[in-house]
Structure 1
Amino acid sequence: MNLSSLLTSLVIPLNLFAALLLLAVILFVTRHRKTAAALALSGLLWAGAWSLPATSLWVGGYLENMYPYQSAAQAPRADAIVVLGGYTAQNRSNWFLPSTASRTSARVERAADLYKAERAPYIVLSGAALDGGVSEAQIMAHTLSDLDVPAWATLMENNSLTTQQNGEYTARLLDEKGFKRVLLVTSALHMPRAVAIFRKQGVDVIPAGAAPQITVPDTPEFSRWRPSLLALQSSRSIIKEYVGILVYWSRGWT
């Protein structure tokens, strides 16, 4: 487990709440009751805040809107489209709505749209096999084939396990192919960290991410102030991004 994942696991709402509650019980038994109450209340408030969609809309929405979404036809032209792997089998269009079955991912669909809009002649797919099997790059290549993108237009980087490796290994491939300017495709939430990584590698990168997912859904029953299990579950990804930004900055990767 890398440092970003470890820190994320420590501070995600339910984990931190459980840890603080356990510590509070120990302190209560040892007669440090005021400290115990403060810790228990802190954990409850942390989990409670992240159960509110309003928290995700504000904190996660800030990252998603750093690079505004634009249609494929509006995107500038480049030498290649770079797509980063990351839960490629998931395709929830809105984090506050249940997942729906889909054969593709928003990132791959976005890359196909950019290619068909003739924004770039090649698509570079980056991502290793997280489970030791087929790489994410290969999975994305197969999906692009189903979306009528020709195999000759796709290139694969099959070894990266982290965003930092995405940038490092893909930059080498881009240099080998003579690609100078690229459209970068990833989730809107992940885009700020990804852009910083690629620019640190000297790549002339243009953000062209998938559409934002942390948005108010068009359903009358939705309330940003009503606790939601989906909001609580999604908080892990938002917290992971902020932890990742901090860790990558501290290591000089961005």
Structure 2
Amino acid sequence: MNSITQGMFFYLSKILWFFADPGNLLLIALCVAAGLAWTKWLRAAKIVLTVTVICCVLVTVLPIGSWVINHLENRFPRVEKLPKNITGIIVLGGVVDQFVTDDRKQIAINGAVERLTELARLSFLYPKAKLIFSGGSGVIGNQRLKEADVINPLLVTLGLNPNRIIFDSQARNTAENATLPKKIVKPTLDQRWLIITSAFHMPRAMGSFRQAGWNAIAYPVDYHTKSNPGLGLGLNLRSGLGGLSAALHEMIGLTFYWLTGRTNELYPKP
């Protein structure tokens, strides 16, 4: 599977996730149960429906997604002491919805703005470091508008000079976040680069950057769980599905990236 091209990989990953997304699986199961109910396979319909309801109850009560996300977030500890010198900082996209931004003519921020607020802070600590923003479009049917094309106003608001930043507007996924900027700056192993992304996404990001040949230092941000959240039982199906979806997306991503040679480990560690 290592021979899969970047384009093929992008489309395959999107198709795979469509069928693996917990929300889509729930809908598929309900459709199957409804369809079977109108046939002689009524007993099978009852079984499918019962299993679906049990799964919904488990997801509602048990924060399975949060448990997995917590493990992902704790995999690469928060940086306590920054290195004295670094070559550059790479921040992964996923901060701005470029399509809503373009339509509304106002920056539409997603939940990962810490990626940019920390970039702004670090840019003052390392005034000579190269700064790279890698963010294109991860939407399978719309590659017209890129995140890097609309993010300048937010950078200015945060006190960053866009002229100092190298923009990679072509990266569609984490693997391309690692490979495309490499063609621009041509890093060497004696150079040190800080990688900024959401903490739960850091294992896959670090695996990708290491595999691409970067001397990468993890700088996780955008935490969604406490360091030790406890049992955390709840009664919220929407929250449970959201957490499970995010967790499953990362775990499938890690596995798929490893199988196709895009990370150096199945579950990268410090």
| TM-score, normalisation: structure 1 | 0.79
The structure 1 segments of at least 4 consecutive aligned residues displaced by more than 4 Å after TM superposition are 100-104, 129-134, 176-179
Q: Is the aligned partner of 1:210 residue 2:221?
A: yes
Q: How do residues 38-187 of structure 1 correspond to structure 2 at under 5 angstroms?
A: 38-52=47-61, 54-70=63-79, 74-76=81-83, 77-89=85-97, 105-118=113-126, 121-129=129-137, 131-132=142-143, 134-175=145-186, 180-187=191-198
Per the alignment, residue 201 of structure 1 pairs with: 212
Does the 8 Å contact 1:125/1:140 carry over to 2? Answer: no
Does the 8 Å contact 1:13/1:50 carry over to 2? Answer: no
Amino acid at match of 2:118: R
Relative distance call for 1:50 and 1:244 in structure 2 (3 A) is same
Per the alignment, residue 15 of structure 2 pairs with: 6
Does the 8 Å contact 1:53/1:228 carry over to 2? Answer: no
Q: Any idea what SS the aligned residue of 1:186 has?
A: strand
Please state how far the C-alpha of 1:68 moved relative to its aligned partner: 1.6
State the identity %.
Answer: 24
| TM-score, normalisation: structure 2 | 0.75
Please state how far the C-alpha of 1:132 moved relative to its aligned partner: 4.4
- Calculate the aligned-residue CA RMSD, in Å: 3.2
Distance 1:60 1:104 in 2: 15
Please state how far the C-alpha of 1:207 moved relative to its aligned partner: 0.6
Which runs of no fewer than 5 residues in structure 2 stay unpaired? 1-9, 99-107, 264-270
Distance 1:133 1:142 in 2: 20
Please state how far the C-alpha of 1:52 moved relative to its aligned partner: 4.0
Moved more, 225-234 or 186-195: 225-234
Which runs of no fewer than 5 residues in structure 1 stay unpaired? 91-99
Does the 8 Å contact 1:125/1:154 carry over to 2? Answer: yes
Does the 8 Å contact 2:94/2:110 carry over to 1? Answer: no
Moved more, 152-161 or 53-62: 53-62
Please state how far the C-alpha of 1:183 moved relative to its aligned partner: 0.3
Per the alignment, residue 248 of structure 2 pairs with: 239
